[in-house]
A and B are shown apart, each in its own frame.
Chain A
Amino acid sequence: DIQMTQSPSTLSASIGDRVTITCRASQSISSWLAWYQQKPGKAPNLLIYKASSLETGVPSRFSGSGSGTEFTLTINGLQPDDFATYYCQQYNSYPWTFGQGTEVEIK
């Protein structure tokens, strides 16, 4: 199975900050990576697919980059609605696997 490792596990940031979350795959997954946002008690919400494609309706302050084994999710200008947990997920091969999550909390 492909292991997905996110860093950091928790991130403290302020409104307006630029935030970067890293996701590493245990083997190459090309660009088959998605990012999800999840708020407490809610279902995950798709933000980014194919490493850097923004899902329709997602604010442009979210962006993704990377390929192979190293990926990043960047939030430019953190907003109050962005405090949540973020997960990366590979869909290169079964079983699909998720990172352990990064909680973005208010500083």
Chain B
Amino acid sequence: QVQLVESGGGVVQPGRSLRLSCAASGFTFSSYPMDWVRQAPGKGLEWVALISNDGRDTYYADSVKGRFTISRDNSENTLYLQMNSLRADDTAVYYCARRSTVMDYWGQGTLVTVSS
């Protein structure tokens, strides 16, 4: 069955960097675009970034453009989110999601807390 497992979250100081990973299994990873979506504590969902199945095309929300980089390693079935210049308002649970037409499978999320 489809499994997505995020890791890499934690507490980080403002201005620092963090890299999230999402390990995929149970499907042909290289055939699907992938997304990152985040949810601040007690708030709604915010789409963050998308990467095409081959990694050539990427899209970002304005709130993270220039600071976050989405990438993937199809040989390792792993999705990444490199987060630089982190701010307090980046504090959230970060989910990776598989995209068919829509985000049909989601991981359990990893919590990123940006705090001094």
Contact = CB atoms under 8 A, between A and B. Distances in A.
B78 to A, nearest CB: 18
Most chain B C-beta atoms within 10 Å of own C-beta, residue among A46, A99, A100: A46
B101 A49 contact: yes
B27 interface: no
Q: Specify the main secondary structure of chain B where it touches its partner.
A: strand
Nearest to B105: A46
Nearest to B61: A95
Nearest to A49: B102
A55 interface: yes
B47 A55 contact: no
B95 A43 contact: yes
A95 to B, nearest CB: 5
Going nearest first, the 4 A-B pairs with the smallest beta carbon separation are A43-B106, A96-B47, A98-B45, A34-B102
6 contacts: A43-B108, A44-B95, A45-B106, A46-B102, A98-B46, A98-B47
